[in-house]
């Protein structure tokens, strides 16, 4: 399912278990590790290295931490397409939005999703990345939001 989802899509991942009460801190922490939301920032195809096969993977951006406008830690989480978790699309990027991407070594990574090109250009001027690319979200990337397992 995630292979057909465009970069910038907000996804919820979950395992189907009920949320434990707040008083069970360790159980709640473990539950939150398998039940959260994130924005799709990277996808890779399945590949084989020598005789070893590697499944397709994808990365979700979960959070930024910092203060006074300075981000000091970015939290991303990678998943294999063979994960037992389920994924639900919460929000697709709207047509006309702009993705700020970087391409390195055959990988495409989303750094920012903006509402228009002016905002994207301002962000790229302020945040230096190697060869950033601004890409406008097209009409063909909008559509129904399927719910299912990442496969």
Task: Note the pLDDT tens digit of each residue in 8-37.
Answer: 999 999 999 999 999 999 999 999 999 999
Q: What is the mean pLDDT of residues 77-83?
A: 93
Tell me the average pLDDT of the chain: 88
Q: What is the pLDDT of residue 80?
A: 93
Over 90: is that where the pLDDT of 150 sits? no
Q: What is the pLDDT of residue 147?
A: 44
State if pTM tops 0.75.
yes
Write out the chain in H/E/C secondary structure. Answer: CHHHCCCCCEEEEECCCCCCCCCCHHHHHHHHHHCEEEEEEEEECCEEECCEEECCEEEEEEEEEEECCEEEEEEEEEEECCCCCEEEEEECCCCCCEEEEEEECCEEEEEEEECCHHHHHHHHHHCCCCCCEEEECCHHHCCCCCEEECC
pLDDT tens, position by position, 94-128: 999 999 999 887 788 999 999 999 999 999 988 87
Out of 33-42, 60-69, 138-147, pick the least confident: 138-147
């Amino acid at each position: 399912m995630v292979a057909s989802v465009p970069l910038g899509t907000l996804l919820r991942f979950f395992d189907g278990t009920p949320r434990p009460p707040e008083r069970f801190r360790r159980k709640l922490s473990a539950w939150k590790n398998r039940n959260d939301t994130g924005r799709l920032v990277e996808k890779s195809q399945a590949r084989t290295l020598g005789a070893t096969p590697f499944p397709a993977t994808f990365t979700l951006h979960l959070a930024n931490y910092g203060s006074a406008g300075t981000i000091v830690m970015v939290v991303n989480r990678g998943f294999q397409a063979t994960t037992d978790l389920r994924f639900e699309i919460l929000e697709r990027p709207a047509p006309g939005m702009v993705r700020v991407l970087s391409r390195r070594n055959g990988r495409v990574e989303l750094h920012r999703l903006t509402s228009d090109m002016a905002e994207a250009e301002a962000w790229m001027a302020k945040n230096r990345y190697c060869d950033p690319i601004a890409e406008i979200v097209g009409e063909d990337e909008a559509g129904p939001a399927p719910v299912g397992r990442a496969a």
